[in-house]
């Protein structure tokens, strides 16, 4: 078990290094950060000196190794635009993204699972069909458009909910939370629904498909023959067997919720890491982009690692000598 | 149970009600980006300096009509062409309670020359400052500098003692911020507002400075600023009443603001001139099908381009009637502008074709155009329109529209001006024509720091000479004659193709009144809640 985890961690490190290297290769194409850092009257000499000082004239590999070296010491440099430590900027924004992602994941589960069960049980019902149609819209409409539509309806027309921002936040240590104020909770509603919609439809369709699959299984037929009532059949036997893959997928999707929060955050001006990243792209703010990409890679890698370890714990078949490839 | 729910709802309603009542005195506004730090010498950029101009002050300032007024200097007088006697204002306090005096001015001038400073250009307009007494100084300039006080508007004064106590005697340097980051995170000016709290890129809260020296015409106690990047969200935030003012508003959203209750668009001509430039120095254009020669070296081709572009159509179709077509490289607000010279090239596609044929391109030719797509009002759309106009006279323009970071990296002088045909906008920071001569019209000379933004390298020896002359000519009439002469040459030579002055575009709630300055700077003192 220990050797399996060590192996996994080493692989994870390799993945993160690869992400960082690809990121640095891509930074060559984001444009010149210097122009965003100085005013129009700044002389060419000063501009060139700044480039030199920031090491932007060095080859990609040198820049990459410098970044990795600093990152290992916990230093991510200074944002070119905000002129603040990148670790501080990301730290300030971290809680906003995590709260939004968490609420979205909860919404996706709490709404998606019952809808999936309902559509599986009442396959031909009118409501089921409309759920299925709606879910198609959820899957196919881009997040950007859904966000703007929600803002127009609930923010601008009815004025029930704020059109942007996070409302008032309360700081608990370094963590800022919007859960404790009325305006913070109101501000959460629209962006979390926007972010949850895709995952929700995904979970609903997954639960439905799994449920239909399980309902055809022999043990359900046997249960029915034993005279178990529908309620006990559906919820005690069928649903339990359905949830294993659902939990796995949801866990893995948590990473993508955090990563894809970028679009939702920029539509709602939600002050999270994704918004910071989008702004950094516009300004060619390389230190922020590099740190963000590596952090997201870390989150993905961690979640995968946890899922892999859980698999090994749950499934005895994976505890053999070939355990390295388990869970992929 | 029902009762309890009712109570909770009631409490929630009270909390919500209370929070709206409290915010009545707060003015909220949004811009598309944030100030890049609080150090007044950190970045010479309009929004950052305008934002800080509510907290810090320079020796002089602009009023709502862009007229020069004294600020921390009470008065000034030109003793010799290179010596200015400046009387400083007495009884001014910094936000921390320290008294403002001549030492602060001298300190701030020297600070602007330190390595991390982006205000070196303004700081080097002064060679030396002689302190005569605590409230009288003499500014010595290296050469006659008629617009010194215009330049000082955005050169802010810091408190010497405060900077020394907090290890901020050097401008914030992005290379080593541990060293001088304090002034980037904290502010201590003499202005009408103090910064109460700030989270970069998220929110900044200003409170009124009750001890402000000036007439207490700042009326709003608290101002909240949020950057909102997406234009659609910004406009929605205004219409929904969450903020009282936003800028910029896309020109195509004016209609929407007009149709919505309680908000309106506030528009006016900006001092920024948008123009097209042409490569006039290479022997062969980059990415063109004309080999062995550069068509733009022929004045007939340049004129053909000028005649092919329909400025009125751009105004009507793309700018929704809001731009001011221009024949000059400066806007009417700029010192040196001359109304009688402001004659755009007449739209005449037939003549354009004839000129091209005469120059040896009866079937036109092909070239590439560079254009930013997130820098100016409808920049990419303007370029697309130019592509269409040029196609009508047979010139095939391949448009390369990119985000500003990529665009500027490509066309910049550091990159050897890698462009044949490009769109650029320019507002002279000093509100004076000399800045336009210096940066755009004189021949490019990196050693003399001339023509650094003259990406097409238009070069005329007389214009070059005039640039030097108007930099030091102090007689207003003679100076204007020189400026006029230079502008006429540029027009006759078709050195540039001016398009228009773009509009300022703010969205304002009907609950408030604000003053829109032509340099797009937002002075908080102008805010009033309508009763």
pLDDT digits 0-9 by tens, B231-255 = 999 999 999 999 999 999 999 899 8
What does the DSSP assignment read for A60-84?
HHHHHHHHHHHHHTT---B-TTT-S
DSSP letter assigned to residue B345: P
Helix or strand run (H / E) with residue A2: helix A2-27
Regarding beta strands B496-509 and B421-426, do their DSSP bridges make them parallel or antiparallel, or are they unpaired?
Answer: unpaired
The partner residue sitting opposite B184, judged by closest CB among A30, A42, A83, is A83
Query: For residue B414, which residues of chain A lie inside 8 Å, CB to CB?
Result: 44, 47-48
B9 has a pLDDT exceeding 70: no
Same structural domain, A92 and A34: no
Which has the higher per-residue pLDDT, B52 or A125? B52
Contact with chain A for residue B449, Cβ under 8 A = yes
Asked if A102 and A68 sit in the same domain, the reply is: no
Is A309 a member of any domain?
A: no
Q: How far apart are CA A108 and CA A261, in angstroms?
A: 14
Nearest CB neighbour to A163, from listed B118, B236, B439: B236
The answer to whether B404 and B272 are in contact (CB under 8 A) is no
Average pLDDT over residues A294-320: 79
pLDDT given for residue B175 in this prediction:
66
Chain B residue at shortest CA distance from A276? B201
Put simply, the chain A residues between 139 and 198 with a CB less than 8 A from any chain B CB are 148, 151-152, 155-156, 159, 162-165, 168, 182-183
Is residue A312 scored above 70 in pLDDT? Answer: yes
Residues in chain A: 328
Query: Helix, strand, or coil here: B343?
Result: coil
What residue in B sits closest to A82 (Cα-Cα)?
B36
Helix (H) or strand (E) holding B301: helix B299-308
Give pLDDT tens digits for A149-193. 999 999 998 999 999 999 889 988 889 899 999 999 999 999 999
A251 neighbors A303 (Cβ within 8 angstroms): yes
Q: Please list every residue in chain A whose beta carbon sits closer than 8 Å to the beta carbon of residue B201.
A: 82, 89, 271, 275-276, 279
Radius of gyration of chain B (CA): 25
Taking CA atoms, what residue in A is nearest to B185? A84
Reported as a single tens digit per residue, the pLDDT across A36-56 is 888 877 888 888 888 888 888
End-to-end CA distance of chain B: 44
Domain annotation covers residue A320: no
**Which one of B10, B177, B200, B450 would you mutate to disrupt binding with A, by most A Cβ within 10 Å of its Cβ?**
B200
Query: If you average pLDDT over residues A62-83, what whole number do you get?
Result: 87
Alpha-carbon gap: A200 to the closest alpha carbon of chain B (Å): 24
- Looking at chain A, which residue has its C-alpha nearest residue B436? A41
Mean pLDDT of A93-103: 94
Structure tokens at B32: 């598309």
Q: Whole-model pTM?
A: 0.86
Q: Which of A97-111, B135-149, B204-218, B350-364 has the lowest mean pLDDT?
A: B204-218
| Rounded-to-integer distance, Cα B230 and Cα B261, Å | 22
Interchain proximity B43–A32, CB inside 8 Å: no
**Residues of chain B contacting residue A155, judged by C-beta atoms under 8 Å apart:** 236-237, 240, 242
Q: Assess A327–B contact: CB distance below 8 Å, yes or no.
A: no
Chain A residues in contact with B236 by the CB 8 A cut-off are 148, 151-152, 155-156, 163-164
Together in a domain, A13 and A61: yes
Are residues A97 and A129 located together in one domain of the fold? yes
In this structure, what token pair is assigned to residue B415?
A: 């990159």
Strands (E), A49-184: 170-172, 175-177
DSSP β-ladder status, B245-247 and B396-402: unpaired
Are A118 and A236 within one domain?
yes
Contact between B319 and B267 (Cβ < 8 Å): no
User: Are the C-beta atoms of B459 and B280 separated by less than 8 Å?
Assistant: yes
E strands along A75-191, which residues?
A: 170-172, 175-177
pLDDT at position B14, please? Answer: 41
The predicted structure's pLDDT at residue A250: 80
Whether residue B104 has pLDDT greater than 90 = yes
In the three-class reduction of DSSP (H, G, I as helix; E, B as strand; rest coil), residue B113 is classed as coil
Q: Which residue of A has its CA nearest to B46?
A: A39
Stretch A287-312: mean pLDDT, rounded? 87
The reply to whether A72 touches chain B by the CB within 8 Å rule is no
Q: Are residues A269 and A129 in the same domain?
A: yes
Poorest-pLDDT segment among A154-158, A175-179, B114-118, B387-391:
B114-118
Residue pair B456/B417 in contact (Cβ under 8 Å)? The answer is yes
What is the spatial distance between Cα B72 and Cα B157, in angstroms, rounded to a whole number?
9
Could you tell me what percent of chain A has a pLDDT over 90? 36
| B9 lies within 8 A of chain A by CB | no
Tell me the C-alpha distance between A156 and A168, whole Å.
20
Structural domain that includes position A143: 86-283
Q: Both A236 and A127 in a single domain?
A: yes
Distance, in Å, from the CA atom of B262 to the CA atom of B267, rounded to the nearest integer, reads 16
Q: Is B124 on the interface with A (CB under 8 A)?
A: no
For B420, phi then psi, to 5°, come to -105, -30
Residue B8 confidence (pLDDT): 43
> Is residue A226 within a helix (H) or strand (E), and if so which, with residue range?
helix A218-226
Nearest chain A residue to B416 by CA: give it.
A44
Residue B400 has pLDDT above 90, yes or no: yes
Judgement on whether residues A182 and A274 belong to the same structural domain of the protein:
yes
Asked whether residue A232 is domain-assigned, the answer is yes
Q: Are the beta carbons of B229 and A275 separated by less than 8 Å?
A: yes
Residue A55 lies in a domain: yes
- By CB atoms closer than 10 A (0-12, 13-18, 19+), residue A316 is exposed
pLDDT at position A290 is: 92
Cβ–Cβ pairs < 8 A, chains A and B: 169
Q: Is the pLDDT of residue B15 over 70?
A: no
Asked whether residue A46 is domain-assigned, the answer is yes
What residues 27-56 of chain A have any CB closer than 8 A to a CB of chain B?
Answer: 29-33, 35-44, 46-48, 50, 53-54
Asked if the C-beta of B250 comes within 8 angstroms of chain A's C-beta atoms, the answer is no
- Indicate whether A267 pLDDT > 70: yes
Strand-strand pairing, B26-31 and B245-247: parallel
Within 8 A of A265 by CB-CB distance, chain B residues are: none
In whole angstroms, what is the distance from residue B452 CA to residue A295 CA? Answer: 40
Which residues are CB-contacts of B150 (< 8 A; sequence separation ≥ 6)? B60, B68, B335, B430, B431, B432
Mean pLDDT value across chain B = 90
Residue percentage of chain B with pLDDT more than 70? 94
- pLDDT score of A307: 79
Q: Domains in chain A: how many in total?
A: 2
pLDDT bucket at B264, cuts 50 / 70 / 90:
very high
Sign of the Cα pseudo-torsion (B445, B449, B451, B457, in order): positive
- Identify whether A208 is part of a domain: yes
Shortest CA gap A148–chain B (Å): 8
Pair A240, A162 in one domain? yes
- Helix and strand numbers (H, E) in chain B are 18, 19
Q: Say yes or no for a CB contact (<8 Å) between B12 and A38.
A: no
Higher pLDDT, B20 or B457: B457
Structural domain includes residue A95: yes
Q: Which among B177, B184, B230 has CB closest to A269?
A: B230
CB B369 within 8 A of CB B383: yes
Q: Which helix (H) or strand (E) holds B404?
A: helix B404-411
Task: Identify which of B161, B137, B158 has the alpha carbon closest to the alpha carbon of residue B148.
Answer: B137
Q: Where in A97-210 does DSSP place strands (E)?
A: 170-172, 175-177
Is the per-residue pLDDT at B179 higher than 80? Answer: no
H-helix or E-strand spanning residue B270: strand B263-278
Quote the CA–CA distance of B447 and B437 in Å, as a whole number: 16
Flag whether residue B256 sits within 8 Å of chain A, measured between CB atoms.
no
CB contact under 8 A, A82 and B201: yes
d(CA B136, CA A52): 41
- Per CB-CB distance under 8 Å, the chain B contacts of A165 are 226, 237, 242
- For residue B407, the chain A residue with the least C-alpha distance is A31
Structure tokens that stand for A321 in this block: 């000598």
Cross-chain Cβ contact A271/B412 below 8 Å: no
Mean pLDDT for the stretch of residues A244-268: 86
Average pLDDT, chain A: 87
Cα distances from A10 to residues A6, A7, A17, A69, A323, in angstroms, run 6, 5, 11, 17, 15
**All domains of chain B, ordered by start, with CATH?**
34-191 (3.90.76.10), 269-503 (3.10.105.10)
Window 291-310 of A, Cβ < 8 Å to B: none
Which of B37, B402, B429 is closest, CB to CB, to A82? B37
CA neighbours closer than 13 Å in the CB half-sphere of residue B1: 0
- Angle, to 10 degrees, between the axis of helix A273-283 and the axis of helix A239-267? 40
Residue B84 confidence (pLDDT): 96
Token pair for A112: 């998606």
Question: Which residues 306-365 of B are in CB contact (within 8 Å) with A?
Answer: none
Question: Of B472, B495, B494, B470, which Cα lies nearest the Cα of B483?
Answer: B470
User: Is B36 in Cβ contact with A81 (below 8 Å)?
Assistant: yes
| End position of a domain, from candidates A26, A45, A72 | A72
Confidence check: pLDDT of B506 > 50: yes
Q: What is the DSSP letter of A271?
A: -
- Residue range B331-351: mean pLDDT, rounded: 95
Which token pair is B285? 């254009």
Of A72, A107, A126, the one marking the end of a domain is A72
Does the pLDDT at position B19 exceed 50?
no
Closest A-chain CA to B116: A50
Closest residue on chain B to A41 (Cα): B121
Residue B192 confidence (pLDDT): 95
Taking CB atoms and an 8 Å cutoff, what residues of chain A touch B184?
A: 83-84
| Cis check: omega of the bond before B16, within 30 degrees of 0 | no
So what's the pLDDT on residue B178? 58
Residue A173 belongs to a domain with what CATH number? Answer: 1.10.3720.10
Q: For the residues B178-204, what does the mean pLDDT come to?
A: 88
Tell if the CB–CB gap between B200 and A84 is shorter than 8 Å.
yes
Binning pLDDT at 50, 70 and 90, where does residue B495 land? very high
What chain B residue is nearest to A33 in terms of C-alpha separation? B405
Same domain? A45 vs A177:
no
Does position B336 have pLDDT exceeding 90, yes or no?
yes
Q: How far is CA A152 from the centre of its chain?
A: 25
Rounded Cα distance, A234 and A215, in Å = 8
Cross-chain Cβ contact A284/B15 below 8 Å: no
- Closest-CA residue in chain B for A89? B200
Does A269 contact B233 at a Cβ distance shorter than 8 Å? yes
Q: Do the chains contact at A31 and B405, CB–CB below 8 Å?
A: yes
Which range is most confident: A14-18, A168-172, B281-285? B281-285
Is residue A314, in this structure, part of any structural domain at all?
Answer: no
SS3 B244: coil
- Whether A112 has its CB under 8 Å from any CB of chain B: the answer is no
Quote the minimal CA–CA distance from A301 to chain B in Å: 29
Contact between B489 and B471 (Cβ < 8 Å) = no
Q: Are A186 and A271 members of one domain?
A: yes
> How far, rounded to the nearest angstrom, does the alpha carbon of residue B315 sit from its chain's CA centroid?
21
Considering the domain architecture, whether residues A237 and A90 belong to the same structural domain is answered as yes
């Amino acid at each position: 078990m220990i050797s399996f985890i060590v192996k996994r961690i080493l692989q994870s490190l390799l993945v993160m290094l690869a992400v960082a290297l690809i990121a640095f290769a891509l930074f060559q194409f984001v444009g010149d950060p210097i122009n965003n850092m100085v005013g129009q009257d700044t002389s060419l000499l000063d501009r060139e000196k700044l480039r030199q000082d920031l090491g932007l004239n060095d080859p990609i590999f040198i820049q990459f190794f410098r970044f990795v070296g600093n990152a290992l010491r916990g230093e991510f440099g200074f944002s070119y635009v905000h002129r603040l430590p990148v670790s501080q900027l990301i730290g300030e924004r971290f809680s906003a993204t995590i709260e939004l992602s968490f609420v979205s994941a909860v919404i996706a589960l709490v709404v998606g699972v019952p809808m999936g069960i309902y559509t599986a049980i009442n396959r031909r019902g009118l409501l089921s069909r409309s759920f299925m149609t709606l879910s198609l819209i959820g899957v196919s409409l881009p997040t950007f458009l859904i966000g703007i539509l929600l803002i127009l309806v609930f923010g601008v027309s009815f004025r029930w909910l704020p059109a942007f921002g996070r409302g008032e936040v309360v700081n608990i240590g370094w963590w800022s939370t919007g859960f404790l104020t009325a305006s913070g909770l109101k501000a959460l509603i629209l962006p979390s629904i926007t972010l949850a919609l895709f995952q929700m439809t995904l979970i609903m369709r997954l639960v439905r498909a799994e449920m239909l699959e399980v309902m055809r299984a022999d043990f359900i037929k046997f249960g029915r023959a034993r005279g178990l009532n529908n309620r006990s059949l559906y919820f005690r036997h069928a649903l339990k067997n359905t949830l294993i893959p659902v939990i796995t997928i949801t866990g893995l999707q948590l990473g993508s919720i955090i990563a894809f929060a970028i679009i939702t955050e920029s539509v709602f001006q939600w002050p999270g890491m994704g918004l910071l990243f989008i702004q950094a792209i516009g300004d060619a703010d390389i230190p922020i982009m590099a740190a963000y990409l590596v952090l997201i890679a870390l989150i993905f890698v961690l979640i995968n690692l946890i899922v892999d370890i859980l698999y090994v714990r749950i499934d005895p078949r994976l505890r053999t000598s070939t355990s390295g490839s388990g869970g992929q | 149970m029902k009762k309890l729910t009712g109570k909770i709802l009631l409490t929630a309603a009270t909390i919500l009600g209370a929070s709206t009542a409290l915010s009545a005195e707060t003015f909220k506004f949004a811009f598309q980006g944030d100030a890049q730090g609080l150090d007044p010498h950190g970045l010479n950029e309009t929004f950052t300096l305008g934002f800080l101009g509510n907290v810090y002050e320079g020796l002089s300032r602009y009023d709502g009509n862009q007229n020069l007024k004294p600020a921390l200097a009470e008065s000034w007088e030109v003793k010799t062409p290179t010596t200015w006697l400046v009387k400083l204002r007495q009884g001014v306090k910094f936000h921390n309670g320290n008294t403002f005096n001549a030492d602060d001015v001298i300190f701030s001038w020297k600070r602007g020359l330190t390595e991390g400073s982006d205000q070196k250009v303004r700081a080097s307009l002064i060679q030396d400052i002689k302190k005569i007494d605590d409230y009288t100084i003499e500014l010595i300039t290296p050469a006659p500098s008629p617009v010194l006080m215009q330049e000082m508007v955005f050169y802010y004064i810091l408190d010497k003692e405060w900077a020394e106590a907090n290890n901020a005697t050097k401008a914030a340097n992005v290379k080593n911020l541990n060293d001088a980051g304090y002034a980037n995170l904290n502010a201590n000016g003499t202005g009408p507002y103090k910064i109460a709290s700030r989270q970069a890129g998220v929110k900044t809260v200003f409170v009124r400075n009750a001890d402000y020296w000036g007439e207490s015409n700042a009326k709003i106690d608290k101002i909240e600023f949020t950057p909102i990047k997406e234009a659609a969200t910004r406009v929605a935030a205004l219409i929904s009443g969450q903020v009282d003012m936003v800028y910029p508003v896309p020109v195509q959203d004016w209609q929407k603001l007009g149709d919505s209750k309680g908000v309106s668009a506030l528009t006016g001509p900006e001092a920024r001139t948008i123009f097209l430039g042409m490569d006039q120095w290479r022997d062969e254009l980059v990415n063109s099908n004309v080999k062995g020669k550069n068509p733009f070296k022929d004045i007939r081709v340049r004129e053909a381009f000028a005649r092919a572009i329909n400025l009125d159509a751009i105004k009507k179709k793309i700018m929704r009637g809001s731009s001011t077509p221009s024949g000059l490289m400066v806007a009417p607000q700029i010192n040196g502008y001359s109304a009688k010279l402001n004659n755009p090239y007449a739209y005449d596609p037939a003549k354009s074709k004839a000129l091209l044929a005469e120059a040896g391109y009866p079937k036109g030719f092909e070239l590439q155009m560079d254009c930013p797509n997130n820098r100016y009002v409808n920049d990419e759309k303007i370029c697309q329109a130019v592509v269409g106009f040029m196609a009508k006279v047979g010139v095939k323009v391949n448009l390369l529209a990119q985000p500003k970071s990529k665009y500027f990296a490509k066309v910049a002088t550091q990159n050897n001006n890698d462009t044949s045909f490009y769109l650029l906008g320019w507002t002279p920071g000093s509100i004076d024509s000399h800045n336009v001569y210096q940066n755009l019209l004189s021949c490019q000379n990196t050693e003399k720091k001339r023509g650094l933004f003259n990406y097409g390298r238009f070069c005329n020896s007389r214009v070059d000479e005039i640039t030097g002359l108007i930099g030091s000519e102090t007689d207003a009439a003679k100076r204007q004659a020189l400026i006029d002469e230079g502008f006429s040459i540029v027009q006759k030579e078709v050195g540039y193709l001016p398009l228009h002055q773009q509009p300022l575009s703010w969205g304002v709630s009907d609950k408030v009144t604000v003053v829109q300055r032509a340099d797009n700077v937002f002075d908080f003192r102008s805010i009033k809640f309508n009763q």
